[in-house]
Structure 1
Amino acid sequence: MPSVNSTNTALMAEGTAGQAKIPCGVVVTRSCMALFATGFNAWSQLSLGRNPGYDEPDDLFSFTKVLEAQRIERPVAGLSWTLGALRRDGVVCMAGVGLGDVDDYEASHTFAEAANGEILGIQDDNIPVPGEEGGSEAQKVLAKYASRSAIRTENRQRSWRCESPVRTVAAFDAGFVILYQDGTVATLGDARFEDCLGRDITDDSPADEPGIVPDLANLGEPIKHVSAGGYALAALAESGGIYLWGMSPSGAQRRQQPFSTLCGVPNYVEVDDGKDVQDMALGDSHAIALTTDGSVYVIGDNSSGQIGLGKTAREQVQSWTEVSFDAPDGHEIVAVAAGPRSSFILTSPVQA
């Protein structure tokens, strides 16, 4: 995971270990994907497409192009940093504060970090083979660590064999949500936040062990994507329905979720009179969704521009609102993403 430091890192694209740093623009080709960002930018963490210089950066209140490259993966964002993976020659773009070395960048795409500092990710492990002295076989495991430094020292807290391959791990403030390749969803976290786990905590299904979310397992269709932010969690079903669960945060310092019906049961959330959703993401107090007709909808807090509706929309937006967004000529929107106080739109050339 990115190590903490106090230096504002100017944008560079870094290759694999031993390669020189090169400006991100070097990888731009005629058939480019494009990444657009909006939101909190106090550490120039959204300045993926340029060197932010020495001026105090401004928050972005509308979706602004920040990166172009031949191939861009879904960005990973913390409060003060953003990583944009350009899967071409192992290049990774980075901006903001709190970035470490190349290994840290790669870890950020395979690990998730909760607000309490705990980290969960997928790792290779050697499992002993019964009946074979000294024999072992490679096995994917879910590995949990108490902190970033514990990863570097390989001081693993717990691990669980992955009976089904893991597709996604996402973190909320007090735990994690896990999506398996077979479309089932599990949660892991703190028993004090049982509503965030979406399941009953029992001796047979403790909070600190991965446990299946039963209401999602009983939908009759697989889940294809999960996201989390603050104390809210979301699952996107194969048919395009969003299911939300969790709890409203306590304390005056916490930003309120726009979803007033959050509870321990995943409930269907309608977007614009029931449109099917292709992709979605949650921030600390906002959400973004891409519908199958190519429209982008947002909801929640816009105090830092994180839902991209302009500077005049600073209050909580309580209903899904369509974003006025024009993709580049010949492009279509293929994904959305969110950081704690930022949102992203990813576009790609339309396939012939």
Structure 2
Amino acid sequence: MKRYLSALAAALLVAVPLGLSEIRTADAQQVTQLRWATSAVGSAGHRAKVALMAMLNREMPDYSITVLPTPGALATVRGYATNQFDGYYGADIAFRELAGDTGRFRGFRDQMQREPVQSFWAYTMEVGLGVRAGDRDRYAGWGDLSGRPVFTGPAPWDVRAQLERAMQTLEVGHNYVELDLGLSASSLSERSIDAFIIYSTGEASPAPWVNEAMIATDVAALNPSDAEVEKLRAAGLDVVEVPGDVFRGDVRTDTVLLVPFFYGFHVGLEVPEEDVYRMLTIIEEHAEELARTDSAFRQISEDMVNIQQRGVAASVDSVKVHPGLARYLREKGAWDDAWDDRIASR
């Protein structure tokens, strides 16, 4: 009997750890890996996605999110559509080009393996122009940059597409100069360019590289003229006022006039409705925490529902809505029944 009890005890000592190991293994297998692509290291999108990932990984233990930097948001949308990524960093202007087979997405639809959808709008991003501070008084508005060398941003980036769209609306025939981000300040100082793109996120947080450029050289914000503002708005492009002190250095104006568009961190229909809905509610619950981590999230901390509603309204004709986002907006009383036929399904 003693030998039997000893053997039984030994068996139990072995069996319990093995059983726990098997349970842990089963639990681990239930964790869903999400490869979520965003823009380049040093960009506003990368900084914001890292903050969002840290919170979601903590609050959604059944998901493991990995942030993947890419050359730009365009690459993330393309990568998702060709099954390279599980999540992407998409803007309304990119979705418009994709739907219309125009601009940076011309000819791309033939390569697509799945359609992107919209699932979470994080903030607006607002674009404008900076010039040498010593030359600021030479310009009455953006139109005075016609024929001049201008760095409107890296070629694939959505901020460049939005700024180019605004400048084309105003018929500013500038000469685009492609630069490494780190050379923008020295190129302006050395007069290789006469202006470069400046932009903020959430009307509060400039991109890190923009602030670095403003520290490295003396930059003044160049606002569009009153007539140019009217022309932009007549063409359906909004213009917002951003306090000049959100930028590093003296931008020579109390208010910077910038042209906004919507940016979001999206997933597709591979992530179930229930999980996207849960993700949105978690983001809303922790919006103030996110805003403390990165001021780009200030807008969702003030009114999460409003940003989702405005983002959908800006892009619903171009890209369908994830059913999880549709459910979230319905429950908040912010869904437009006219969007019913734009809810995505498999």
What band does the TM-score fall into relative to the shorter chain?
under 0.3
Higher helix share: 2
Higher strand share: 1
Q: Which has the higher contact order (CA 8 A, sep 6+)?
A: 2
How high is the TM-score relative to the length of structure 1?
A: 0.24
Larger radius of gyration: 2
